[in-house]
Structure 1
Amino acid sequence: MRLLGGILAGVVLGLVVGVAAVAVHPWWWGLLLAVAASSAALLASPRGAWRISYAATWAIVIALAATPRPTGGYAVAGDVAGYLMIFWAVLMVVVATATVSRATSTADRGLTGE
Structure 2
Amino acid sequence: MRFLLAPLLLLGGAGTGLATTALHHWWWGLALGAAATMTALVALPPGWWGRLAFALGWFLLVARLVLPRPEGGFVVGADTPGYALMALGLVVLVTGVATLPRPTRPVRRARS
TM-score (normalizing by structure 2): 0.85
Which blocks of at least 5 consecutive residues in structure 2 are unaligned? 108-112
Offset of residue 11 of structure 1 = 0.4
Offset of residue 99 of structure 1 = 1.2
What value does the CA root-mean-square deviation take over the aligned residues?
1.6
Q: 1:43 is aligned with what amino acid?
A: V
Offset of residue 106 of structure 1 = 8.3
Corresponding residue of 2:6: 7
Offset of residue 68 of structure 1 = 0.6
TM superposition outliers: structure 1 runs of 4+ over 6 Å: none
Q: More helix by proportion, 1 or 2?
A: 1
Residues 1:27 and 2:26 aligned together: yes
TM-score (normalizing by structure 1): 0.84
Question: SS state of the match for residue 91, structure 2?
Answer: helix
Corresponding residue of 2:64: 64
Offset of residue 29 of structure 1 = 0.6
Corresponding residue of 1:36: 35
Larger relative contact order (Cα-Cα within 8 Å, sequence gap ≥ 6) = 2
The percentage of counterpart residues that share the same residue type is: 34
